[in-house]
């Protein structure tokens, strides 16, 4: 099963994306800001990272 890291600060949007990815058979980890996403990426292996461009504490390009 592929593991996806979803970095999204909009809770409603994160839930919709997560629901659809899980329904498609993916394992999803959700991070609520850029710093949390970075920390998740340091501790687990992900097959794909989907990130919002502008988030609190660390943005997409940093």
- Domain around 24: 3-51
Tell me if 62 is assigned to some domain. Answer: no
Domain count across the chain:
1
Quote the longest CA-to-CA distance of the chain: 31
Is the pLDDT confidence value at 1 over 90? no
What is the predicted pLDDT for the residue at 41?
94
Give pTM, 2 decimals: 0.87
What's the pLDDT score for residue 59? 62
Judge whether 56 lies within some domain.
no
Considering the domain boundaries, does residue 59 fall inside one?
no
Residue 43 burial (C-beta neighbours within 10 Å; 0-12, 13-18, 19+): exposed
Strands (E), 1-62: 3-7, 27-31, 48-51
> What pLDDT is attached to residue 15?
98
**Residue 47, helix vs strand vs coil:** coil
- Find the distance separating the first CA and the last CA of the chain, reported in whole Å: 29
């Amino acid at each position: 099963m592929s593991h996806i890291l979803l970095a999204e600060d909009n809770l409603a949007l994160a839930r919709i994306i997560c629901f659809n990815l899980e329904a498609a058979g993916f394992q999803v980890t959700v991070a609520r800001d850029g710093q949390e996403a970075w920390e998740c990426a340091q501790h687990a292996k992900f097959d794909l990272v989907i990130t919002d461009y502008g988030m609190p504490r660390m943005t997409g390009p940093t």
